[in-house]
């Protein structure tokens, strides 16, 4: 053999050895790509979900992983921006070769990210992004564990129907995909309950002065003010409602920012008695729900809520699919996800198709209320841990 051919052969052998070595290393773990807002305005949501993903991974890996292999979580920061979310998914698919994706917080980012996953045919198990269109686009590689935005107020609706019985309502919402979807569905709920929506107003996120908008609401004197907002806007809306002495029979948040501990920290006593839709409570009769809540509180010295529970359960669902998949390829993992039927700390998970939705999980929702600085479950009665406070006292009647 000539010297040149020997050199070529040697180089080829080294390259082949490196390739085989990389395959062996990759085979030691199962990669899971996770897209979350870890910086920017939505970072608090990303933090609670990242912590919960990591808690689930520690538990799963501590029990031997998935078929003897440990999960390796690869987080990408979408910064709360759709274009960044798209790039994050492209990176995880093309560079990291992940066989499955999860995460997805804001609806606008999730819609963009899932479109990329569908294009590349890599399964994306959505954790939070709730705009109805995400599971109404006919994507066969997109699944969602949490309810669509139109189903968030299910418990709110029964509470209004059986307890409050309001005649008029105002709907305020962030002019985003999530806000638009949620406000539209709640307006339809009001029509069914024969509640007159006297105003429906969108606003741009990050506003610093809601007083002109709230002054208009006050002039309408509605029984109910329903708000779809992230945490900073939710806090400011309530502080300024108090300053203006806006006194409807009750304020209700459409989930999102109204359930985070930061809402009460930022709104102060203006948060008291505010109701909110919630997708999960630790008192729900789900296996591991209370244990997850207590473990999170002990580890991080603060409470968790439904966003964290979604993330925690999401990784268990992904791990279950990886365990059942014929091979660790996107196609086989996708097929395993499609046949998921399990109980989690977030609730039962089974992906079904109904109305325009495909591969969508269906679970009940809850109503919570801020009482003395704590978020209490008040409806439905079967899972309530505190009695709801209604009628809500006016600002000047509160101690």
Task: Give the domains, in start order, of the chain with CATH numbers.
Answer: 29-147+285-360 (3.40.50.2300), 151-278+365-397 (3.40.50.2300)
Q: What pLDDT does 19 receive?
A: 40
Place of tokens 């992230």: 230
H-helix or E-strand spanning residue 347:
strand 347-350
- Dihedral sign from CA coordinates of 165, 166, 171, 172: negative
The pair of structure tokens assigned to 261 is 């501990």
Q: What is the pLDDT of residue 23?
A: 33
Query: Residue 229 CB: number of other CB atoms within 10 A?
Result: 28
**257 within 8 A of 232, measured Cβ to Cβ:** yes
Q: What is the pLDDT of residue 4?
A: 46
Per-residue confidence of the chain (399 residues) as pLDDT tens digits? 444 444 433 433 333 333 433 333 345 899 999 999 999 989 999 999 999 999 999 999 999 999 999 999 999 999 999 999 999 999 999 999 999 999 999 999 999 999 999 999 999 999 999 999 999 999 999 999 999 988 989 999 999 999 999 999 999 999 988 888 889 999 999 999 999 999 999 998 877 899 999 999 999 999 999 999 988 999 999 999 999 999 999 999 997 789 988 999 999 999 999 999 999 999 899 999 999 999 999 999 999 999 999 999 999 999 999 999 999 999 999 999 999 999 999 999 999 999 999 999 999 999 999 999 999 999 998 889 899 999 999 999 987
**Which is it for strands 374-379 and 366-371: parallel, antiparallel or unpaired?**
antiparallel
Q: How far is CA 375 from CA 41, 83, 265, in A?
A: 22, 35, 12
So what's the pLDDT on residue 27? 53
């Amino acid at each position: 053999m000539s010297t040149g051919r020997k050199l070529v052969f040697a180089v080829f052998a080294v390259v082949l050895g490196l390739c085989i070595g990389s395959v062996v290393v990759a085979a030691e773990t199962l990669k899971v790509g996770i897209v979350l807002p870890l910086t920017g305005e939505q970072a608090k949501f990303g933090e609670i979900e990242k912590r919960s993903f990591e808690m689930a991974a520690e538990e799963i890996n501590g029990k031997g992983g998935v078929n003897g292999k440990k999960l390796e979580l690869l987080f990408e920061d979408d910064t709360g921006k759709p274009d960044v979310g798209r790039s994050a998914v492209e990176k995880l698919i093309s560079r990291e070769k992940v066989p499955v994706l999860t995460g997805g917080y804001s609806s606008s980012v999730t819609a963009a990210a899932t479109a990329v996953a569908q294009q590349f045919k890599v399964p994306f198990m959505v954790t939070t992004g709730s705009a109805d269109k995400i599971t109404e686009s006919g994507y066969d590689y997109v699944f969602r564990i949490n309810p669509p935005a139109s189903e968030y107020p299910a418990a709110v609706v029964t509470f209004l129907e059986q307890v409050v019985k309001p005649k008029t309502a105002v709907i305020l919402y962030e002019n985003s995909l999530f806000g638009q979807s949620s406000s539209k569905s709640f307006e339809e709920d009001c029509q069914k309950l024969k509640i007159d929506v006297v105003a429906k107003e969108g606003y741009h996120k990050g506003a610093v002065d809601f007083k002109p908008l709230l002054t208009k609401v006050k002039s309408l004197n509605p029984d109910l003010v329903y708000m779809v907002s992230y945490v900073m806007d939710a806090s400011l809306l309530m502080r300024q409602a108090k300053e203006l002495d806006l006194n409807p029979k009750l304020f209700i948040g459409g989930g999102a920012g109204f359930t985070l501990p930061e809402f009460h920290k930022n709104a102060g006593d203006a948060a008291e008695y505010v109701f909110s839709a919630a997708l999960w409570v630790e008192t729900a009769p789900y296996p591991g729900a209370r244990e997850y809540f207590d473990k999170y509180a002990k580890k991080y010295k603060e409470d968790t809520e439904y966003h964290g529970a979604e993330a925690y359960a999401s990784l268990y669902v992904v791990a279950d699919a990886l365990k059942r998949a014929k091979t660790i390829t996107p196609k086989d993992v996708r097929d395993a996800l499609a046949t998921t039927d399990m109980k989690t700390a977030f609730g039962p998970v089974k992906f079904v198709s109904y109305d325009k939705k495909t591969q969508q999980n269906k679970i009940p929702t809850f109503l919570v209320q801020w009482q003395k600085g704590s978020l209490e479950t008040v409806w439905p009665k079967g899972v309530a841990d505190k009695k709801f406070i209604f009628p809500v006292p006016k600002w000047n009647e509160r101690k």
